[in-house]
Amino acid sequence: MLAQCSSPSYTVYYNKMMPLQQLVAMIDRKEEFPMRVFVTGASGYVGSAIVRELIEAGHQVLGLARSDAAAASLASAGAEVHRGSLDDLDSLRSGAAATGGVIHTAYIHDFSAFEKAAQTDLLAVETIGVVLEGSGKPFVITSGTLMLTYLLPPGRLGTEENVPAAESVIPRIASENAAIALAERGVRSSVVRLPPSVHGEGDHGFVPTLIALARGKGVSAYPGDGSNHWPSVHRLDAAHLFRLALESAKAGSVLHAVADEGIPVREIAGVIGRRLDVPVVSVPVKEAGEHLGFLGNFFSLDSPASSTLTQQRLGWHPVQSGLLADLDGDYYFTNEAWSKYH
Ligand SMILES: NC(=O)c1ccc[n+]([C@@H]2O[C@H](COP(=O)([O-])OP(=O)(O)OC[C@H]3O[C@@H](n4cnc5c(N)ncnc54)[C@H](OP(=O)(O)O)[C@@H]3O)[C@@H](O)[C@H]2O)c1
């Protein structure tokens, strides 16, 4: 898959599948290929798919691991292990300094301490940013399309151009702004916003939680008339976009890893109800929390999002199955998945 291209002073190894304009841009920036990439969250659901995507494209990965189990899973995936954590800022500094680019996906998913998790994320972004300052190296961070609900009226299709005010301190938006601002400080920074459902085998996010609730309560519930929209993407398509962002996103880009722009949530509840053979019921929006716990709020949001600009800018095109078809596959409803995550 690797080819070589030389000038008198410079040799670049590139992926034969890489579009010509991407290769030219990379040579212009004198970036190394393959790259050694520091990946935080490398042992996670999204991060592990990114690790595989990077290695298959010829890159080397230095993955952050905070436990022996994470270290073992990284090593078996062919990555180098960098021991540390989000709370150990020196481990972030040394990982970023040792590599040609960074993809940051680690996140503390503690919904009872949402603001603290966002502050930890912001500090991680700022810490890595200081190390990369002036280097021109790529730095890809992770955000979510649901933060568009802070910026847009319900139901408005969110785009990559919907960017929060620079001074915003709303959780996670501050991390986006910190990353975007790094473009002015010599970092080829970019933000990949993921939709609320990144689906696929191993999913342990919102959709499996909805399935667990439906199983436990004997009904598959949706809020109101269920016409509000959730965007989604397959995990492998998302991983591909992270690699493209690393290799060629312009400094300060905001990118949307969105395949399905917006699925009415009653259709998601509908597949879950059919697969579990339980009734599919509407619950009043103001009672959604009683039926769906912390998901009552999220599942009531109407937050469709587009990836048209991302597709145009990076030539990214999702090719995996959509959420509803994926939900109809077996792995969302197998005992094994339940015993692992619930
Ligand atoms: N999955 C989705 O549907 C979805 C949707 C929207 C946005 N996102 C975002 O995408 C990113 C990746 O999510 P994910 O689904 O892959 O999450 P995940 O499977 O829970 O993985 C989280 C990763 O972060 C690491 N991590 C957590 N706390 C850490 C700490 N204190 N220090 C160092 N590492 C730590 C975990 O390490 P361990 O392996 O050691 O636990 C793991 O590698 C996150 O920013 C998430 O908010 C995900």
From the first residue on, what is the mean pLDDT of each consecutive set of 10 residues in the chain (342 residues)? 48 56 59 88 98 97 98 98 98 98 96 90 98 97 93 95 82 92 97 97 93 95 97 98 97 98 98 97 94 92 97 97 92 65 39
Closest ligand 1 atom to residue 235 Cα is: 1
Residues 143, 36 share a domain: yes
Q: What is the distance in A from the centroid of ligand 1 to the CA of 47?
A: 7
Would you state the pLDDT for residue 258?
A: 98
Residues 158, 74 share a domain: yes
Closest ligand 1 atom to residue 46 Cα is: 16
Q: What is the distance in A from the centroid of ligand 1 to the CA of 195?
A: 14
Q: What is the distance in A from the centroid of ligand 1 to the CA of 287?
A: 29
Closest ligand 1 atom to residue 199 Cα is: 3
Distance of alpha carbon 37 from alpha carbon 55, whole angstroms: 10
Q: For residue 323, what are the contacts with CB-CB under 8 A and spacing of at least 6?
A: 197, 199, 207, 230, 232, 260, 263, 268
Nearest residue (CA) to ligand 1, atom 26:
106
Helix boundaries (H) for 133-205? 173-181
Distance of alpha carbon 20 from alpha carbon 98, whole angstroms: 28
Residues 56, 42 share a domain: yes
Q: What is the distance in A from the centroid of ligand 1 to the CA of 196?
A: 13
Is residue 207 included in any domain, yes or no?
yes
Residues 251, 213 share a domain: no
Which of 232, 250, 215, 230 is closest to 297 using CA atoms? 230
Residues 141, 202 share a domain: no
Tell the residue number behind the tokens 């300052």, with chain if given: 133
Is residue 218 included in any domain, yes or no?
yes
Would you state the pLDDT for residue 26?
A: 59
Distance of alpha carbon 267 from alpha carbon 43, whole angstroms: 31
Would you state the pLDDT for residue 324?
A: 97
Is residue 3 included in any domain, yes or no?
no
- Give Cα 40 distance to the centre of its chain: 12
Is residue 331 included in any domain, yes or no?
yes
Q: Helix or strand or coil: residue 325?
A: helix
Would you state the pLDDT for residue 329?
A: 83
CA distances from 315 to 19, 28, 59, 244, 290 (A): 9, 19, 20, 9, 43
Closest ligand 1 atom to residue 88 Cα is: 32
Q: What is the distance in A from the centroid of ligand 1 to the CA of 48?
A: 10
Which of 113, 107, 110 is closest to 85 using CA atoms? 107
The sign of the CA dihedral 91, 93, 94, 95 is positive
The partner residues of 11 in beta bridges, in order of sequence, read 6
CATH of the domain at 67: 3.40.50.720
Domain range spanning residue 112? Answer: 12-195+233-258
Residues 270, 180 share a domain: no
Q: 294-324 burial by CB neighbour count: b if 16+ within 10 A, else e?
A: ebbebbbbbbbbbbeebbebbebebebbebe
Residues 145, 31 share a domain: yes
Nearest residue (CA) to ligand 1, atom 24:
106
Helix boundaries (H) for the chain? 20-28, 45-56, 68-76, 89-97, 114-132, 173-181, 206-217, 235-248, 265-276, 288-292, 295-298, 308-314, 323-327, 335-341
Domain boundary among 220, 243, 258: 258
Q: What is the distance in A from the centroid of ligand 1 to the CA of 17?
A: 29
Does residue 124 have its Cβ closer than 6 Å to ligand 1?
no
Does residue 43 have its Cβ closer than 6 Å to ligand 1?
yes
Q: What is the distance in A from the centroid of ligand 1 to the CA of 322?
A: 22
To test the pocket of ligand 1, the residue of 74, 105, 323 to mutate (highest count of ligand atoms within 8 Å of its CB) is 105
Does residue 205 have its Cβ closer than 6 Å to ligand 1?
yes
Is residue 1 included in any domain, yes or no?
no
Closest ligand 1 atom to residue 65 Cα is: 40
Which of 250, 248, 210, 214 is closest to 232 using CA atoms? 210
Residue 17 CB coordination number (10 Å): 10
Contact 251, 187 (CB under 8 A): yes
Residues 246, 154 share a domain: yes
CATH of the domain at 227: 3.90.25
Residues 251, 268 share a domain: no
Is residue 314 included in any domain, yes or no?
no
Does residue 208 have its Cβ closer than 6 Å to ligand 1?
no
Is residue 4 included in any domain, yes or no?
no
Rg for the chain, CA atoms, rounded: 20
Is residue 312 included in any domain, yes or no?
no
Q: Which tokens sit at 331?
A: 């792995």
Residues 53, 16 share a domain: yes
End-to-end CA distance of the chain: 40
Angle between helices 45-56 and 235-248 (to 10 degrees): 60
Contact 66, 48 (CB under 8 A): no
Residue 340 CB coordination number (10 Å): 11
Q: What share of the chain is helix, strand, coil (3-state, %, to 5)?
A: 45, 20, 35
Residues 295, 190 share a domain: no
Residues 275, 190 share a domain: no
Q: How many domains, in total, are found in the chain?
A: 2
Does residue 107 have its Cβ closer than 6 Å to ligand 1?
yes
Q: What is the distance in A from the centroid of ligand 1 to the CA of 85?
A: 12
